[in-house]
Amino acid sequence: MEFEADDDDEWVWPNELKEARLMEGILRCQVCGEFLSGPVLLRECRHSFCSECVRKHLLARGTNGCCPECKCACSSSDLIPNRPLEQLVGFFRALKPKVLHLASTSQGSGDGATLASLSTSDLTDTATASTSTDITARMPTTSYNFLKDSQIRQLLKSAGLLAILPTSKDSMITCHKEYTMLWNAQLDTMNPKNASQVRAEVVTKFRQRQHETAAKASTRRSLGLRPDDPIEKAITRTSALNDNFRKLAQ
């Protein structure tokens, strides 16, 4: 029985190793469901999440600056990098396919497989290796309420985000918030992205939002709606027309 195809699946563990499955659940982020990446600890409640995940959560509207798990009040200043946990995740991910292979080959064998078949030399390299980055200092949060459009544009130019200009003020603010969040998240991980990768990610997400906005506008036009009309209006209108048609057909 082979496990290789789904080694990253939390539920691939056999029943005999349910403790390993429970351990894996602890090492996964409660926001994205993936293995913790650049995990940070919330100062007050001590819950841990991926740095990017919890920072995005705190920026999202309606979250009111609270822990995603227990709703305890918090802010980005309460995030503490948890490097030992990141190392543990690295060890676990490197060890998992080896343990699964050992479990599969030992099934039905009289003497069983031995742990000596597990080579741990590469586990240390996987869990402790870190990459260098040009992101070395944390960016302060910015209050955009009193900034003019030209000042926000200058912030984006200084960040090397000319590719998104020109665009609306709200879009500029969203992009700069995202850039700041991603930049600071790299300081919480042993395997950070570099500045050019962060910029590329911000630009990619900006273009995705533009595409989604254009698609929604096209849908509204095809339904005969004005830009500020909700899609539900067209659904209600269509339902009413169908009711009238059925009445006429009776």
Which CATH topology does 4-128 take? Answer: Herpes Virus-1 (3.30.40)
Helix axes 195-222, 169-186, angle to 10 degrees: 140
> Domain limits of the chain?
4-128, 135-250
Span 125-169, pLDDT tens digits:
555 555 667 888 899 989 999 999 999 999 999 999 999 888 999
How far apart are the C-alpha atoms of 93 and 123, rounded to whole Å? Answer: 9
Structure tokens at 81: 């990098």
CA distances from 61 to 49, 56, 76, 109, 140 (A): 19, 10, 15, 56, 20
The predicted pLDDT at position 190 comes to: 85
Q: What is the pLDDT of residue 129?
A: 56
User: Is pLDDT of 249 > 90?
Assistant: no
Q: What is the pLDDT of residue 101?
A: 87
pLDDT tens, residue by residue, 78-114: 999 999 999 999 999 999 999 988 888 876 554 444 5
Q: Angle 83-106/18-26 helices, nearest 10 degrees?
A: 160
pLDDT for 104: 82
